[in-house]
Structure 1
Amino acid sequence: MVKKHGLGKYRTPFGEWLDDMNKTSVEFAEESGVHRNTIDALANQKGYGARKPTMDKVLKAAKAIDPGATYEKLFPPM
């Protein structure tokens, strides 16, 4: 489910998770080793899919912040 956030900006569940964790895409990009543009796309574009190694980095960094983070929670099927 994609929701509006802030000033009409759509956020994916991953984007909402970033907001809940008070993380910016720049901060999360530095922590995960994934380019900021990829993090922005994952947070804002419905149906955007990155390569598996990239998603593994994102999930590893997410679990370091929130041990309850799972792939299914952050990137549910649309």
Structure 2
Amino acid sequence: MSEKYGLGKYRTPFGKWLDDHKKTSVEFAVESGVHRNTIDALAGQKGYGARKPTMDKVLKVAKKIDPEATYEKLFPPM
């Protein structure tokens, strides 16, 4: 099931979460300290996986925005 948002681009569950919370990859990158290219890849590349310390930073900021955010919801196994 390939869901597309915006201009027909593929969005991962994390990408959909960013869209739902009206966050851009640039805003999220600044808040998390993770490079924007990594945030873009996590949001739009199927199967992309970052290192654990990076994912921990992403999840920490996501939980500040949405306390119900979990690793399993944002990055389910493909």
TM-score past 0.5 threshold: yes
CA RMSD across the alignment: 0.8
Alignment of 1:1-78 (within 5 A): 2-78=2-78
Amino acid at match of 1:13: P
Structure 2 residue matching 1:77: 3-state secondary structure: coil
Deviation at 1:2, TM superposition (A): 4.1
Q: Name the % identity.
A: 86
Q: How far, CA to CA, are the matches of 1:16 and 1:2 in structure 2?
A: 12
Query: Do the aligned partners of 1:14 and 1:42 also contact (CA within 8 Å) in 2?
Result: yes
Flag structure 1 segments of 5+ consecutive residues without an equivalent. none
TM-score, length basis structure 1: 0.97
C-alpha distance in 1, partners of 2:14/2:71?
9
Under a length normalisation based on structure 2, what TM-score does the superposition of the two structures give? 0.97
Aligned length: 78
Q: Which amino acid aligns with 2:70?
A: T
Off by >3 Å, runs of 4+ in structure 1: none
